[in-house]
Each structure stands twice: as C-alpha cells, then as structure tokens.
C-alpha cells in the first residue's frame, strides 16, 4: 500500500499525465504538423557542440576508476574551484571551492537546502505564480508553503505583502528570476528592497531568514537585461543554479548550490547541505557531467533562437487579442485568460490543437503559460489557430 502522502501526489500527477496523453492523442489524429504543443519546459535548442566533444574527450582521457568513482558528497574539488572562479570573474564575488556544492540539477539543490534549514511547520514564502514543484519540495521536509501573489500588472513581488507575510515561523523566501512562468527578471532595486525587508525582519525575530534564489534560467535573459547576483545584496542567501536550461542538459541532471562565507555559520551550513546531498539519496552530482561542465563554463546555447521565438509568439498572441507582459527572460509567455476559468480556456484552446498550461498549476488562476522552447516553425504554423481562438472571445 502506498503512503498517504504519496497517494495525494499520485492523484495530483494525473492532471500532468492527462495533458501529456492529450498531446499524444491529438498528434495521432491530426498529425505532428497540426498540433501546437506549448505545454513543456524542455529546451528546444541543442547543447553547445563543445559539450559532446568534452564528453568524448573526458571518457577517452580520464582514468576510469577516478572518472566513474565515488567522491566527496560536494563534488570534485577542482571542478568546484573552476566554477567559483568563473562566478567571481562574472560577478565580482569572492568564492572558492568550499562555497560550491555540486548537485543533481536545481531540483536536488532546492531539496538539500530545504532539508538543511527546515524544522517541521517552518514557513517558506514563495512568490506566486511559482514552479509548482516548490510545494512538493517544501512539504518533503514538513515545511509550510506561504504564497504571496505578485502584482498583476508586472508580476514583480508585492513588497508590502512580502513584508506582512513574514512572521516568527518564516525560515526562507524562495525567489526565481528569470521567472518560470512569467519570464520576469527582478532588478537590482527589487533585490535590494527584498534584502532590506529581510534584514529588518531578521532583527525583529532574532533568527536567520534565508533568501533562496532559484536560478535555472539565469543565462536566459534578453535585451541585455542584467540579472543581479543575489549574494551581493543579502548575506543569508543560497543560490541554486542548474545547467538544465543554460546548456540544454536537463536529462543530465547537473547544477550546484552556492553558500557564501558571509552567511551566518556558513561552514556548518556548507557541511549540512553536503551531508543532505548524501542523505536524500543523491550522494554526489553525476561525475562525468561535473567534469564536462567545468570544461564548458563559457559556453552558451544560441540564445538568439529563444529570442526570435519570443518575439514571434508575443506578436502572434497579442495580435490575436490576448494580453501579455513581454517576458525578459526564461522561455515562457504568461498570458491572461480571457475568461476567469483558466482550465476552461485551455480546454477551448484545445479545439484549435493549442496546448497550454493553466496557471492555477502555478498558484495564479486566470492566466495560462505558453512555453516558447519549441521550433520557430511550429510557432509560425500556429498563427491561424491563435487567431481563431482570439475570435471566440472578441466582444465577449
Ligand atoms: N526551478 C524552476 C523554476 C524550474 O522551472 C525548474 C525546471 O523546469 C527547476 C527548478 C528544476 O530544474 P532542474 O532540471 O535543474 O532540476
């Protein structure tokens, strides 16, 4: 018999599975060319060429027992040192290998941070809309999710509400910029304001309140917009980074956590997070991928591809009559549903073979997420379907 906790999760999962099955069913009936699946956040750009070259070189040149063996739970020291130096060069920080813990993507990075800081019933503030897995990750450690709704006009955090939501039980604020699902990037000014609030509240409650910055989309920012490095503005910050999107490697499961020396009791925290890597069953990040990303720290996917997709989809969506803030990063458009019920809107969109994710899955009903990590051609082909969908709601 599966556990009570898992029973609920299995039920919740059926909605995701249903959507996936629906895509498959539509493709069978109408053909791949005529179904416009904007539901998945799977990178559509290939990993840089150097990744595969580096994989081949690494397996051909490294000692097999070393390459495929166990290691420190925080990862290879030389890899962590290279990553620390690369961050220092880009953001004028002062990290070394001890500040970096290699992880199995951002998902495990978030889990080992939450495992290290949460006592049962501790609260974690999230800014809605947010990546729905946060609920699972926080509840894994008996924490309580406290969503604070972002502003409807710009999807930036409502700072007054953030401040009012902090109480004695608040252990962390979890932010994600560039954001899934809105594509919004928080400016330095916003980060500084969040830091001011948190400094004040730490003093008031006399304990640490951590800022967890979930950054799998850090490299996916457009129009030369700057994505501030959060440890520079608030000392009790964890940065959770991933190569899933920046190098198009989501299946390889590789990322890292940064814990700055400025954090209160940083050495103890680094030890706790390292041990958590072992205890949650990850043990260490994949060894081959650690060595490969260390060789490819200056590599990037061809961002122009996503930017072109963004511009075309934004044009089609807005010209079809829908409301949407132009995203500055990640690869999602967050579009206002023309009817209050976002799930119903997704059902109507399906009549035109358009597949979106209702934003009630991101704790922000009334909107849908349309992912543009798809082929440019598919976006181009979907124009007529969007126009027909728009027609249904004109003058309503
Ligand atoms: N955080 C956000 C906001 C995401 O969108 C995702 C994946 O889509 C993750 C974390 C998990 O990323 P990873 O593949 O690195 O575990």
* DSSP line for 359-391: GGGGT-TTEEEEE--S-HHHHHHTHHHHHHHHH
343: exposed, middle or buried (Cβ count in 10 Å: 0-12, 13-18, 19+): middle
Q: What is the position in ligand 1's atom list of the atom closest to the CA of 250?
A: 14
Ligand 1 pocket residue status of 48, Cβ below 6 Å: no
User: Ligand 1 centre from 64 Cα, in Å?
Assistant: 31
73: exposed, middle or buried (Cβ count in 10 Å: 0-12, 13-18, 19+): buried
**What rounded mean pLDDT belongs to the chain?**
96
Cα 12 from chain centroid (whole Å)? 20
Tokens of 185: 């990037």
Contact 379, 331 (CB under 8 A): no
Give me the sign of the Cα torsion angle 9, 12, 14, 15: negative
Ligand 1 pocket residue status of 137, Cβ below 6 Å: no
Give the pLDDT score at 396: 63
Q: What is the position in ligand 1's atom list of the atom closest to the CA of 104?
A: 16
User: Ligand 1 centre from 342 Cα, in Å?
Assistant: 23
Give the pLDDT score at 192: 98
Q: Is the pLDDT of residue 145 over 70?
A: yes
Region 158-168 average pLDDT = 98
Give the pLDDT score at 197: 98
Q: What is the position in ligand 1's atom list of the atom closest to the CA of 255?
A: 15
Q: What is the pTM of this model?
A: 0.97
Q: Which helix (H) or strand (E) holds 336?
A: strand 332-336
Cα 218 from Cα 178, distance rounded (Å): 6
Tokens of 74: 């925080």
Report residue 65's pLDDT band, with 50, 70 and 90 as the boundaries: very high
What is the tens place of the pLDDT at every residue in 200-252?
999 999 999 999 999 999 999 999 999 999 999 999 999 999 999 999 999 99
Q: Helices 105-117 and 266-279 meet at what angle, rounded to 10?
A: 120
Q: What is the position in ligand 1's atom list of the atom closest to the CA of 242?
A: 15
* DSSP line for 203-226: HHHTS--EEEEEETTTT-B-TT--
Contact 293, 247 (CB under 8 A): yes
Q: Is the pLDDT of residue 181 over 70?
A: yes
Cα angle vertex 336, ends 313, 30, to 5°?
Answer: 55
User: Ligand 1 centre from 188 Cα, in Å?
Assistant: 23
What is the tens place of the pLDDT at every residue in 17-44?
777 788 889 999 999 999 999 998 999 9
In 141-297, at which residue ranges do the beta strands (DSSP E only) sit? 144-149, 170-176, 210-215, 237-242, 255-258
Tokens of 257: 């956590």
User: Ligand 1 centre from 250 Cα, in Å?
Assistant: 9
User: Ligand 1 centre from 56 Cα, in Å?
Assistant: 27
Cα 147 from Cα 144, distance rounded (Å): 10
Give the pLDDT score at 21: 84
Ligand 1 pocket residue status of 214, Cβ below 6 Å: yes
User: Ligand 1 centre from 384 Cα, in Å?
Assistant: 32
Contact 197, 159 (CB under 8 A): yes
- Give 331's DSSP letter: T
Report residue 272's pLDDT band, with 50, 70 and 90 as the boundaries: very high
Q: Which of 157, 162, 163, 202 is nearest to 176 (CA)?
A: 157
Cα 314 from Cα 370, distance rounded (Å): 10
* DSSP line for 92-136: -----GGGEEEESHHHHHHHHHHHHHPPTT-EEEEEES--THHHH
Q: Is the pLDDT of residue 14 over 80?
A: no
Ligand 1 pocket residue status of 105, Cβ below 6 Å: yes
For residue 181, whether the previous peptide bond is cis, meaning omega lies within 30 degrees of 0, is: yes
Give the pLDDT score at 395: 60
Q: Helices 287-295 and 77-91 meet at what angle, rounded to 10?
A: 40
232: exposed, middle or buried (Cβ count in 10 Å: 0-12, 13-18, 19+): middle
């Amino acid at each position: 018999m599966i556990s009570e906790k898992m029973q609920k999760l299995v039920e919740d999962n059926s909605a995701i599975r249903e959507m996936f099955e629906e895509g498959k069913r539509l493709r069978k009936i109408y053909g791949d060319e005529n179904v416009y699946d904007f539901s998945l956040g799977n990178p559509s750009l290939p990993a840089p060429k150097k990744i595969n070259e580096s994989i081949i070189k690494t397996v051909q040149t490294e000692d097999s027992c070393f390459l495929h063996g166990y290691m420190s739970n925080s990862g290879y020291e030389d890899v962590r040192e290279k990553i620390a130096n690369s961050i220092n060069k880009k953001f004028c920080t002062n990290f070394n290998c001890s500040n970096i813990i290699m992880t199995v993507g951002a998902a495990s990075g978030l889990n080992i941070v939450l495992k290290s800081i949460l006592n049962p019933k501790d609260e974690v503030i999230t800014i809605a809309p947010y990546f729905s897995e946060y609920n699972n990750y926080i509840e894994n450690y008996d924490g309580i999710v406290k969503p604070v709704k972002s502003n409807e006009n710009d999807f930036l955090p409502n700072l007054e509400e953030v401040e009012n939501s902090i109480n004695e039980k608040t252990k962390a604020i979890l932010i994600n910029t560039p954001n899934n699902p809105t594509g919004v990037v928080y400016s330095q000014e916003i980060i500084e304001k969040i830091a001011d609030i948190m400094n004040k509240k730490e003093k008031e409650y006399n304990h640490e309140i951590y800022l967890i910055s979930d950054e799998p989309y850090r490299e996916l920012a457009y129009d030369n917009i700057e994505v501030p490095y959060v440890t520079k503005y608030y000392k009790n910050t964890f940065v959770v980074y991933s190569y899933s999107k920046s190098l198009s490697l989501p299946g390889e499961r590789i990322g890292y956590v940064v814990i700055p020396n400025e954090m209160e009791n940083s050495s103890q925290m680094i030890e706790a997070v390292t041990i958590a890597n072992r205890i949650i069953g990850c043990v260490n990040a994949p060894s081959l991928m650690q060595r490969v990303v260390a060789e490819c720290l200056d590599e990037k996917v061809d961002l122009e591809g996503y930017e072109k997709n963004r511009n075309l989809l934004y044009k089609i969506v807005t010209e079809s009559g829908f409301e949407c803030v132009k995203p500055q990063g990640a690869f999602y458009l967050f579009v206002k549903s023309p009817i209050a019920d976002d799930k119903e809107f997704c059902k109507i969109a399906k009549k035109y073979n358009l597949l979106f994710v209702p934003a009630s899955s991101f704790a922000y009903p009334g909107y849908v997420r349309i992912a543009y990590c798809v082929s440019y051609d598919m976006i181009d082909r979907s124009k007529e379907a969007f126009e027909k969908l728009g027609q249904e709601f004109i003058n309503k």
